[in-house]
Amino acid sequence: MKKIIAICILLLCSNAVFASAFLEEQNAIQSRIDRIGTDLLNYNKIPKRIVFTYTTKTKKALLSTDKTLTKRQVIIYDGLYQSVQTDDELAAMLAHEISTAVKSYSGIWGGALDSIQVALGSKKFETVADKRAVDYMVHAGYSPLALIIFINKTCPQKRTDRFSRHNLTSKRLARIYEYITYKYPQYLTDENYINNEYYQNFLLTSVNNRKLLEEKIQTKSTKEVKYE
Amino acid sequence: MNRFVFFVLMLCLMFSSVCYAGETPEIKTLPYNYLSVRSVPIKLSIAEEFTTKEPLNEGDTLKFIVRKDVYYNGKSIVKAGDIINGRIETIITAGMNGFPAEIIVDDFEIPGIKSTQMQSTYIKKGQNRCFWVYPLKWALTPIPFVGSLTNFIKGGHARIKTKDIITIYYYPEWL
């Protein structure tokens, strides 16, 4: 009898220990997200309220509303967070969402019309959000190449984007690379990233697109490049 | 014996105070401080009209003319007629269904003023045709395929005219 009581007490205690360890872990992740997110907002002097929420839930289906646009609440899902390794990569993920949230503040009806446009014209605004994310990262002292790494690691490559709400990942990456090449070329020689296996993987998979960009630079063209 | 216990207790107290001193958090100094609300508006206009029709890249600079003398604490910041540069941050091209083009200009360079002391994002949008394109689309939807034709109506180009007054703000007490 005494043994059973002892085991029950032990189980109860271990449960409490596990629960507190889980809470501490969640708290640590939330704190990290808040710190980097707030850094991005402050360094970029974004005079709008945006909050960051970490959740272990999985992302709902297509019909769920995007809280980044409606509530200016950036939701960081556990599944995506698992791919984040460095602070730069976390900043990349948050900067992209911040850019969308900032857009939802502009325009008439408290930004309602612009939010609808972002939701409907998601391909175009995805590119815009990527570019703004690069700016936000640079202003806050993070390397914009982390955005390339993060997208390269997390976004799958579809066959075509003709009927999709999202751009082909290779196009997104090429446009980000082009944007960095024109605006922040000093980051392209960052040794930390040249020696990064994920960045090297991007360089390997983007040879054709980078050739197109080189042609654009050599001919001093200002036309939009049609990336693959 | 009592003296020994007292001595040990004192030692413990001393060490604990050392420990606490070691744990005292350092005061964190941030590289920014937005405490002050004091701002000085600087009015500008673009030197040459610019539209998103023109082939320019993000990162290119545009020239702006200061419209009025600006003083802070009796000291001249900029004079009317001074030329300052602003950078094209992002260009959003006009899209289908009447989505307007948009241009975001920032990073205005004023001698003697740090970029961290300015709130200078300027956004100009083109004509938003969504207001009539969407009702038209819905009205035409009962006729097969006709509603989709509105997809080809593009929004207006963003145009910064020379008479447009652009106001950016200098916060002299920000770091």
Q: Is B93 on the interface with A (CB under 8 A)?
A: yes
Torsion of CA A156, A158, A161, A165, to 10 degrees: -50
Distance of CA B52 to the CA centre of its chain: 20
Q: For each of chain B's 175 residues, which pLDDT tens digit applies?
A: 566 666 655 654 554 544 455 556 677 788 889 999 999 999 999 999 999 887 777 888 999 999 999 999 999 999 999 999 999 988 888 888 888 899 999 989 999 899 899 999 999 999 989 889 888 988 998 888 888 888 899 999 999 999 999 999 999 999 8
Residue type, B143: I
As a whole number of Å, the CA-based R_g of chain B is 29
Mean pLDDT, range A35-56, rounded to an integer: 94
Q: Which range, A104-113, A168-177, A214-223, B13-22, is most confident?
A: A168-177
Q: Quickly list DSSP for chain B.
A: -HHHHHHHHHHHHHHHHHHHHHHPPPPP--S--------EEEEEEESS-EETTS---TT-EEEEEE-S-EEETTEEEE-TT-EEEEEEEEEE---GGGPPPEEEEEEEE-TT--GGGEE--EEEE---THHHHHHHHHHHTTSTTTGGGGGGPPPPPPEE-TT--EEEEE-TT--
Distance from CA of A41 to the nearest CA of B (A): 12
Q: Which residue of A has its CA nearest to B175?
A: A43
Find which of B34, B54, B58, B150 to mutate to test the A interface (most A CBs within 10 Å of its CB).
Answer: B58
- The pLDDT assigned to B7 comes to 64
Q: Is B48 on the interface with A (CB under 8 A)?
A: no
- The pLDDT assigned to B144 comes to 84
Residue of A121, A132, A182 lying closest to B95 (CB–CB) = A121
Mean pLDDT, range A100-115, rounded to an integer: 83
Torsion of CA A130, A136, A137, A139, to 10 degrees: 150
As a whole number of Å, the CA-based R_g of chain A is 21
**B92 vs A contacts (CB less than 8 Å):** 124-125, 128
What would the two tokens of residue A59 be?
């992302």
pLDDT tens for A145-165 read: 999 999 999 999 989 888 888
Place A66 in a pLDDT band, splitting at 50, 70 and 90: confident
pLDDT tens for A16-31 read: 666 788 889 899 999 9
Domain residue limits, chain A: 30-218
| Predicted structure pTM score | 0.83
Test A42 with B32 for CB contact under 8 angstroms: yes
Q: Is A39 on the interface with B (CB under 8 A)?
A: no
For chain B, domains (ranges, CATH) are 40-170 (2.40.128)
Test A42 with B59 for CB contact under 8 angstroms: no
Q: Which residue of B has its CA nearest to A185?
A: B59
Angle at which helices A112-120 and A122-139 pack, to 10 degrees?
A: 110
